[in-house]
Amino acid sequence: MRLAGKAALVAGGGSIGAATAQRLAEEGCRVLLGDIALDQAEADAAAIRQATGVEVIAAAYDQGEDVSVKALVQSAVDRFGGLDFVHANAADLSIAGEDFDAAATDLAIYDRTMEINLRGFVLVTRHAMPHLARSRGAIVYTSSGSAYIGEPTRFAYGMSKSGVNALMRHVATRWGPEGVRANAIAPGFVLGRRDAAALPEGFMEMVTAAQRIPVVGEPRHIAAMVAHLFSDDGAWITGQVIAIDGGSTMRA
């Protein structure tokens, strides 16, 4: 119960966001789980409440809209009386299949990727930071190994995640003197709610072959690190991008 009495906003649900909300609740933290898909977020929140007995609620928001992000943050503050932690996690993955190379990708796809994956994180940051500075709290951003590996496709996605890393370092430097810690997590392939059997034949073998350990990435692996970074055990960690990818990337 390292996080008992604390309050967190998970901005962006899905498998990683829901797993993070569950892990935080298991450690005693109250959570608002925000997502554009309210039905799924409410179902996840209800399941977590039942499993943990901790207050976990859901709210709808659109990360592309400044007023919506501001309202989400304020909802968490109003509900919990303050805000200790934020996990900025949302991304628009529905257009990933149209994100080719820099010559072939429609600029509308590029613009949408940057709007949600990068500008949206800026919106979360600017609205959350006054509250995190008040509580001397912490923020964790979901980045990606795509920021480092130089894929032949998904160039906009990789660029957006590189920008997230730069944003995190700015936040760590700017608000560090006020007691705020900022870090990013760079997941490798996470199976999430997908059925491995429905993936192309040989896909999972290809993924694990690129890792140093043959372990399939799960949302709980990401959630565990978020909880660590929010806890007192992570009190001396800031400004870092932490890869959780089975060793598929290795860097200083």
Alpha helices in the chain (DSSP H): 14-26, 38-52, 66-80, 107-114, 120-135, 146-149, 155-175, 203-209, 219-230
Strands 181-187 and 241-244: parallel
Please calculate the CA angle 63-178-228 and round it to the nearest 5 degrees.
65
* Distance (Å, whole) CA 41 – CA 170: 30
Structure tokens at 233: 């055990």
Assess whether 141 carries a catalytic annotation. no
Residues 6+ apart with CB under 8 A from 248: 145, 188, 189, 210, 211, 212
Structure tokens at 111: 């613009």
Q: 120-135 and 66-80 are packed helices; what angle lies between their axes, rounded to 10 degrees?
A: 30
110, 141, 148, 157: which one is catalytic? 157
Whose tokens are 């039905």? That residue is: 39
Structure tokens at 79: 């509900």
**Which residues are part of the catalytic machinery?**
157
